[in-house]
Chain A
Amino acid sequence: MRLIVEDLSCVRGGRRVFEGAGFEIEAGAFAALRGPNGSGKSTLLRAMCGLVGVEDGDVRLGDASLRSGRDALQEQILYAGHLDAVKPQMTVSENLDFWRRFYSGRETTTDVLKTFSLDQIADAPAAYCSAGQKRRLGLARLAVVNRPIWLLDEPTVSLDVANVAVFADLIARHCAEGGIALVATHVDLGRAPDLEIRMEPFQSSEKTSGEADPFLAEGAFS
């Protein structure tokens, strides 16, 4: 298994966010996606799982690809973005259990809650969680769902040092089992990535014409 990104380019709001993004990640590899703010890391991750339309290029994994067989590709991917997908009205364990059942995960949630030190607040409504607890609950989802490709966008935001280590362990275990983790992050996870992908070579200053929003055109409000 090998995740191949070929010549991917993406246009958002009349601006080309990145172009010609291409790299390959081998099974069992932990790859770090790096680049300054606004360089398109989040857009690249969302484009790779089909949540953002791509202008050109493809993402391939075995027989599945973004252009032909998007569903088959998406079934291999587990995405975790800036938002934790936590329902404040449900308890911590209900939240995790819902995602486990929705994604037909096999593992039970009890051990995972313990791993992320959420077992003490398992029956409390998620509305009372701190930002760090919510983030841990979001990341705990990775442990209860069995999908080989992890695309994670700034997963360590609001985590303390101890929990970053727990999370790094989770990634190490996932990769040891032959999974792939692509993580956009600014921090050091305490483990050197097998592969570092930088956004800078994919940058483009060229403004796209054509379908640009007329209300955003220069002089539209003058």
Chain B
Amino acid sequence: MSALFWRDVALSFRIGGGAGQSLAFFVLAVSLLAFGLGGETDLLARLAPGALWVFALLACLLSLDRLFQADYEDGSLDLILLGPIPVESAVIAKTAAHWLTTGLPLALASPILAVMLNLPIEAWGALVGSLLIGTPALSLIGSIGAALTVGVRRGGLLLSLLVLPLYIPTLIFGALAVRAAALDQDVTGPFMLLVGVTLGCAALSPFASAAALRANLS
């Protein structure tokens, strides 16, 4: 299981890997918003919680289509399914590697982008915290979509259609936590719900993804 995890982490930093690309997309998309709205600093500050979360979510989505597809195309997926570890463990290893190389960098880079969007400094902690807690759910839910569309040529759009509606709870509670912190309100409620969403996804998605992979290959 650790062999698979470290291989995926290593691959994401090689040519064609997704590690830097999601982060670059996140930075560029937020910059575009900042440039587009120009000097409207009050408006930017009000948009910031939702905008940062939406862009983080889209950045995460971008790299998902390769999660199982690359292994499917070169035959590795067959060997992973026949391997000594349960398919569920393989899914967890691959999803964890995906989060470490996409979700975690997004969360760590978010304060820099918060400056661009004029997010009050009081909300930075909530922004990083909510992304740290919420992005694992994005990778976990995404793994279901990626497993369902494995083998579908140009399945990226289909993957988005499957996954984006399932991202709504994470988005709502994540953005709510940041907004509450920006308005100096209590953030416990949204954070608890966000933790709940992530834990629920962690419990369910490895089984759903493994079932989808098995069904897709037979």
Tell me the complex Cα distance, A85–B71, Å.
Answer: 8
Decide if A164 is an interface residue (CB 8 Å cutoff): no
| 8 Å CB contact of A81 from B4, B7, B75, B80 | B75
Decide if A71 is an interface residue (CB 8 Å cutoff): yes
Q: A151-180: contact bitstring with B at CB < 8 Å (1 yes, 0 no)?
A: 000000000000000000000000000000
Decide if A51 is an interface residue (CB 8 Å cutoff): yes
**Do A85 and B10 touch across chains, with their CB atoms under 8 A apart?**
no
> Which residues of chain A from 75 to 128 have any CB-CB distance to chain B below 8 Å in the complex?
75, 77-79, 81-87, 89-90, 94, 98-99, 101-104
Tell me the complex Cα distance, A77–B83, Å.
Answer: 9
Report A-chain residues with C-beta under 8 Å of the C-beta of B218.
50-53
Q: Least Cβ distance of B88 to chain A in Å?
A: 11
| 8 Å CB contact of B74 from A71, A75, A83, A104 | A83
| 8 Å CB contact of B15 from A50, A74, A89 | A89
**Do B76 and A51 touch across chains, with their CB atoms under 8 A apart?**
no
From B7, B10, B17, B73, name the one whose CB has the most chain A CB atoms within 10 angstroms.
B7
Total residues of chain A contacting the partner, CB 8 A: 28
**Do A82 and B82 touch across chains, with their CB atoms under 8 A apart?**
no
Chain A residue nearest to B3 (CB atoms) is A101
Q: Least Cβ distance of B72 to chain A in Å?
A: 9
Q: B5-28: contact bitstring with A at CB < 8 Å (1 yes, 0 no)?
A: 001001100111100000000000
**Do A85 and B3 touch across chains, with their CB atoms under 8 A apart?**
no
Given known A53-B218, A84-B74, contact A90–B14 (CB-CB < 8 A) = yes
Given known A75-B84, A98-B3, A101-B3, contact A84–B75 (CB-CB < 8 A) = yes
| 8 Å CB contact of A89 from B16, B81, B83 | B16
**Do A85 and B84 touch across chains, with their CB atoms under 8 A apart?**
no
| 8 Å CB contact of B17 from A81, A82, A89, A94 | A89
**Do B74 and A86 touch across chains, with their CB atoms under 8 A apart?**
yes
Tell me the complex Cα distance, A53–B16, Å.
Answer: 33
Decide if B42 is an interface residue (CB 8 Å cutoff): no
**Do B82 and A85 touch across chains, with their CB atoms under 8 A apart?**
no
**Do B78 and A85 touch across chains, with their CB atoms under 8 A apart?**
yes
Tell me the complex Cα distance, A194–B78, Å.
Answer: 28
**Do B75 and A85 touch across chains, with their CB atoms under 8 A apart?**
yes
Given known A51-B217, A102-B4, contact A89–B78 (CB-CB < 8 A) = no
Decide if A183 is an interface residue (CB 8 Å cutoff): no
**Do B17 and A85 touch across chains, with their CB atoms under 8 A apart?**
no
> Which residues of chain B from 63 to 111 have any CB-CB distance to chain A below 8 Å in the complex?
73-76, 78-84, 86
**Do B74 and A85 touch across chains, with their CB atoms under 8 A apart?**
yes
Given known A52-B218, A53-B218, contact A89–B84 (CB-CB < 8 A) = no
**Do A51 and B78 touch across chains, with their CB atoms under 8 A apart?**
yes
Report A-chain residues with C-beta under 8 Å of the C-beta of B4.
102
Given known A53-B218, A89-B16, contact A77–B75 (CB-CB < 8 A) = no
**Do B3 and A90 touch across chains, with their CB atoms under 8 A apart?**
no
| 8 Å CB contact of A83 from B3, B7, B17, B75 | B75
Decide if A181 is an interface residue (CB 8 Å cutoff): no
A51-B81, A82-B75 known, 16 other contacts, Cβ within 8 Å: A49-B82, A51-B218, A53-B218, A78-B82, A79-B79, A79-B82, A85-B75, A85-B78, A87-B11, A87-B76, A89-B14, A90-B14, A94-B10, A98-B3, A102-B4, A103-B84
Residue positions of A touching B, CB distance < 8 A: 46, 49-53, 71, 74-75, 77-79, 81-87, 89-90, 94, 98-99, 101-104
Residue positions of B touching A, CB distance < 8 A: 3-4, 7, 10-11, 14-17, 73-76, 78-84, 86, 217-218
8 closest A-B pairs by beta carbon, nearest first, are: A83-B75, A89-B14, A101-B3, A53-B218, A85-B75, A85-B76, A102-B3, A98-B7
**17 pairs, A vs B, C-beta closer than 8 Å:** A50-B218, A78-B82, A79-B78, A81-B78, A83-B74, A84-B75, A85-B78, A87-B7, A89-B11, A89-B16, A90-B11, A94-B10, A98-B7, A102-B3, A102-B79, A102-B84, A103-B83
